[in-house]
Amino acid sequence: MCKLRNVFTPYPDQRPGTSGLRKKVFVFQSKRNYLQNFVQSIYSSIDLLDRQGSTMVVGGDGRYFNQTAIEVIVQMAAANGVGRLVIGHHGIMSTPAVSCVIRKYKAIGGIVLTASHNPGGREGDFGIKFNTANGGPAQDAVTNRIFQISRTIEEYAICPEIRVDLATLSKQTFDLENKFKPFTVEIVDSVESYANMLRNIFDFAALKELLSGENHIKIQLDAMHGVMGPYVKRILCEELGSPANSAINCVPLQDFGGQHPDPNLTYAADLVETMRGGQYDFGAAFDGDGDRSMILGKHGFFVNPSDSVAVIAANVFSIPYFQHTGVRGYARSMPTSAALDNVARATKIELYETPTGWKFFGNLMDAGKLSLCGEESFGTGADHIREKDGLWAVLAWLSILATRKQSVEDIIKDHWQTFGRNFFTKYDYEEVDLDAAIQMMEDLELRILGKAFMGQRFAVGEKLYQVEKADNFEYTDPVDGRICRNQGLRIIFTDGSRIIYRLSGTGSMGATVRVYIDSYEKDPDKIFRDPQVMLEPLVTVALKVSQLHERTGRTVLPTKLADNSFETYQLAPLFSCKECVQVCLAPMQYCTMESMHLLYEILPHTAVKLCSNENKTADSRSNSEFF
């Protein structure tokens, strides 16, 4: 029944990224043994003694090619000595649920089939990643081993006759004609496993009163035709009593209904428009695999992800789980705004700043150093599992609403008055010429690391920034001493404001230069001002210091209009919208909905000029620059 098959062509492009291996569907379908090669590399990365008779978990977000991949994974697991596979009903399991189930069954790991918020369908993307026994993404040592095996693989093992019924909750046993037997496949209700975990974290009675009691609030949740539909319907509607029509787009579809399952103000525009009508008090949207979510208040009030984790931290004891465990530490990814730092400082709780990637949080959690963490790309989570968790974040917010009996907007504004406000935005310059981008980053690093740069002052209008520190971020893991270098260029000012530059996405189509602007304001008379006005001075400094526009040739910015069309402005180096602090800095030919995917405020979009270098002057007699 089981066979060894030769691999005719090892592939050089199967290096797993932070979120596993992601490629277009046609790559998996058209390249001979492409999926089998990578799956065998995962199994071969696990020592045979650990693998033999072990339990592994498999689940995906339901996108196109999901069931085909599961069939191959099952057949190869049997041939590679795995004793038991635990698979989600219909092959569907959210990424947080995979982490939960790995830990529940004490599995040696799990295979997650998702490309997260990337589009699905025949023309879309497919992804596969390996989570280890702690339930979290594999560390670099593991993914590097998988990659090295994939480059030299000569054969893979498979039992091609095995067929599994994914539609029936059951235990299926197969007697194999080899030394690894028996082989068991369990099709499980992952929603119930995940829901049971949440019952032990949150006060479901209080949440039920909030959502269906006498003075209940009205909510609207958008599963975006991703994996979260069954979880939202079962937990929020059936158990906590929210009306059935409060959950929309809850049927998982292979192409996500033709949309990007990305929970932001662009791709969840229908939800945003509904929330703007004022009928609902709380809204949320989830990405394709359920590990990220966007939070909205009444009238479409948007909660910046960096603020979201900070507010949860400031109200952490609204969640019973933390009343029992206490709070061991907080963490954020380096590019995420320092809003969480302000809470950690005030509460005297340790704050860890890590490179981008949830695996760094997992290491801290395993060592008992971390309880709550988040990142600017809509990911928030805690130490109950080792993945970010979109529904957990929603229930955390609902717990705060139940405790404080205030609106989302009032809670956020009270938070700003208490801790100050971090005005935050991120600019993505996509498909920049690779050589130009690398040279710009190298020159920028030389400048900011020079002695003359320390203490330098930048004056923009009434605002004065003085450099306190500048570096290429380097992280030393406090658990195992591992060092991660070259994680991004940082300029930190004496008032706590920051500018961050990162180069990512290098490849045949060029590079992406990401610029993060984090401007701190504690003056209560200024914290409610227009974000664009408050960010303009630091944006000006960021562009001046890097000479990014001059070095990349990016001088044309598309502006997203209310009718989803684009208009190109030729006269200014930078435009944005009056209410929006997240923009795409791509020329018109690169401008797509995807490149606008992290808009941080909502329509109407009115183009305004943020900065101009036409009237700048420099005083060479001092260590200051004026714009």
Mean pLDDT of the chain: 88
82, pLDDT greater than 90: yes
Residues 6+ apart with CB under 8 A from 242: 211, 212, 219, 221, 236
Is residue 111 within 8 Å of 75, Cβ to Cβ?
no
332, β-bridge pairs:
353, 374
What is the C-alpha to C-alpha distance for residues 153 and 169, in angstroms, rounded to an integer?
Answer: 35
For residue 263, the 8-state DSSP code is -
Give the 3-state secondary structure of 551-605: HHCCCCEEEECCCCCEEEECCCCCEEECCCCCEECCCHHHCCCHHHCCCCCCCCC
* Residue owning tokens 């305004």: 608
Q: Which of 366, 379, 364 is nearest to 331 (CA)?
A: 364
Strands 372-375 and 330-333 turn out to be parallel
Burial of 475 (0-12, 13-18, 19+ CB in 10 A): middle
Angle between the N-to-C axes of helices 34-44 and 140-152, in degrees from 0 to 180, rounded to the nearest 10: 130
Residue 588 predicted with pLDDT over 70: no
Confidence check: pLDDT of 622 > 80: no
CB atoms within 10 A of CB 45: 21
> How far apart (Å, rounded) are the C-alpha atoms in residues 283 and 226?
17
> Shortest CA distance to 354 belongs to which of 327, 336, 380?
336
Q: Answer with the residue of higher pLDDT: 613 or 62.
A: 62
Which of these, 80, 86, 76, lies nearest to 53 by C-alpha position? Answer: 80
Chain segment 426-481, per-residue pLDDT in tens: 998 888 998 999 999 999 999 999 999 999 999 999 899 999 999 999 999 999 99
In angstroms, the Cα distances linking 227 to 6, 17, 280, 391, 510 are 35, 22, 23, 12, 32
Q: Which two tokens stand for residue 277?
A: 């009508």
Residue 270 confidence (pLDDT): 96
Catalytic residues: 116
Q: What is the pLDDT of residue 369?
A: 98
Q: Are strands 421-432 and 583-584 parallel, antiparallel or unpaired?
A: parallel
Helical ranges in 34-111 per DSSP H: 34-44, 48-51, 66-79, 95-105
Question: Tens digit of pLDDT for each residue in 103-155?
Answer: 999 999 999 999 998 999 999 999 999 999 999 999 999 999 999 999 999 99
Domains of the chain (ranges; CATH) run 3-188 (3.40.120.10), 194-419 (3.40.120.10), 421-626 (3.30.310.50)
- H or E, element range at 259: none
Cα(67)–Cα(493) distance, rounded to whole angstroms? 51
Mean pLDDT of 613-617: 34
Claim: this prediction has a pTM higher than 0.75: yes
Residue 278 CB coordination number (10 Å): 10
Angle 347-356-202 from CA coordinates, rounded to 5°: 50
Q: Which whole-number Å values give the CA distances from 201 to 2, 363, 374, in the listed order?
A: 44, 21, 18
